[in-house]
Amino acid sequence: MEHLLAALRAVAEPTRLRLVVLCARGELTVSELTQILGQSQPRVSRHLKLLCEAGLLDRFREGSWVFYRFCQSSPVGALARLLVAACGEADPTIALDLQRLGAIKRQRADAASAYFRENAAQWHRIRSLYVDEGEVEAALVDIIAAADPRDLLDIGTGTGRMLEILAPRVEHALGIDQSREMLAVARVNLERAGLENGLVRLGDMYQLALPDASFDAVVVHQVLHYADRPPAVIAEAARVLRPGGILMLVDFAPHALEFLRDEHAHRRLGFADGEVAEWCAAAGLDPAPPHHLAGDPLTVVIWTAQRRAAPRVAAEIAGKRPAALVEGEVR
């Protein structure tokens, strides 16, 4: 009971309630929260400290940035979710906060889009600056060979490299990206590779215009570090996976290369195995042990997770493959 009372005391103040509502919508830095609330940084930091102590928010430092996020797993998580739902969006103060949050997210998204727009043509060179891609690609090919999927989705396909290496091993492959410029390069690459079963289309990884349970494999390769809501990306990937389907997330282990933020629009400096496993489990996926490909200075990690089979479809999966994706669905 004591932790609930402490949480109620912590949140019983207008600014702190607003902070909880904001952090329920994504990981935010102190400076973003300060901008939204229009209050001084020391003041906002004091409120955030109290909320963290009460188990309502999580704080984590990554290089020079400190992020705050909603604490899903703490014993008071259910209370926090209830409060956020009860606040609604009709309250004028909350509505204004959410409007400002929307503006900040748009600015951020515009900056990242501009980066990809400007770098689409030379992306192939930039991506290989980080690590030996050959090793990562070979590991992904092995995973696909073992899983033997029919329909594959590549979220944040960029110039379509994942499609180039994985589409020959599946029946249908679809790449989604929000950058028209990246997709233009991807189309040329797919054409050049003669991949007739690989398609790309414009889309948002947070809201895929694709039906539930329509893919056997989803790959998210070097995309998650641009996300301000990585768990939401994973949940959306899980939604489109068929029961038994496999998610492959490829990104960096935690690192301290700040220049990737300043010069390459990264938001997160890598991910810890624990947080990725937690997000996968929350999305209805069973995480497998991660595969670390140590590099200098960056280590790449391949996290795989399998979509849990709902009890009613488990027998069906054991007996036969799910229905193939209809061509028209992906165009």
Site residues for ligand SAM, window 190-219 (CB under 6 A)? 204-206
Q: Which C-beta is closer to ligand SAM: that of 182 or that of 234? A: 182
CA–CA separation, 146 vs 1, rounded Å?
49
Instruction: Identify which of residues 156 and 287 has a Cβ nearer to ligand SAM in the complex.
Output: 156
Residue written as token pair 């003041």: 43
How many C-beta atoms surround the C-beta of residue 14 within 10 A?
A: 10
SS3 178: coil
Q: Output the smallest distance, CB 52 to ligand SAM, in A.
A: 28
Smaller CB distance to ligand SAM: residue 158 or 243? 158
Cβ pair 289, 330 in contact under 8 A:
no
Residue 323 Cβ vs ligand SAM, minimum distance, rounded to whole Å: 26
Query: Closer to ligand SAM at the Cβ: 20 or 208?
Result: 208
Q: Quick count: other Cβ atoms within 10 Å of Cβ 116?
A: 20
**Which residues between 54 and 113 bind ligand SAM (CB under 6 A)?**
112
Q: Is 270 in the site for ligand SAM (CB under 6 A)?
A: no
* 220, 156 contact by CB (below 8 A): yes
Minimum distance between the CB of residue 201 and ligand SAM, rounded to whole angstroms? 11
From 18, 47, 221, 267, residue interacting with ligand SAM (rule: CB under 6 A): 221
Residue where the block lists tokens 């102190």: 30
CA atoms of 144 and 248, how far apart (whole Å): 9
Q: Stretches 41-49, 92-100, 177-185, 189-197: which one binds ligand SAM (CB under 6 A)? A: 177-185
Q: Smallest distance, Å, CB 256 to ligand SAM? A: 19
> How many secondary structure helices (H) and strands (E) does the chain include?
15, 11
Please tell me whether residue 177 binds ligand SAM under the rule CB under 6 A: yes
Measured CA angle at 99 (ends 235, 115), to 5 deg? 65
Site residue total, ligand SAM (CB under 6 A): 21
| Residue whose C-beta lies closest to ligand SAM | 158
- Distance of alpha carbon 66 from alpha carbon 57, whole angstroms: 13
User: Dihedral, CA atoms, 234, 240, 243, 249, nearest 10 degrees?
Assistant: -30
Please identify, using beta-carbon distances, which residue of 142 and 206 lies nearer to ligand SAM. Answer: 206
Distance CA 186, CA 312 (A): 39
State the nearest-atom distance from the C-beta of 176 to ligand SAM, in Å: 6
Is residue 127 a contact point for ligand SAM (CB under 6 A)?
yes
Locus of tokens 């990585």: 230
8 Å CB contact between 54 and 12 = no
DSSP state of 207: B
Assess contact for 245 and 307: CB atoms under 8 A.
yes
The interface with ligand SAM within residues 8-47 (CB under 6 A) comprises none
Nearer to ligand SAM, 144 or 205 (CB): 205
Residue whose CB is less far from ligand SAM, 7 or 185: 185
Rank residues 18 and 271 by Cβ distance to ligand SAM and give the closer one: 271
Q: Minimal CA–CA distance to 152: which of 160, 103, 144? A: 144
278 to 307, contacts with ligand SAM by CB under 6 A? none
47 or 266: whose CB is closer to ligand SAM? 266
Binding positions for ligand SAM, 152-171, rule CB under 6 A: 156-159, 161-162
Residues forming contacts to ligand SAM in the complex (CB under 6 A) are: 112, 116, 127, 156-159, 161-162, 176-179, 182, 204-206, 221-223, 226
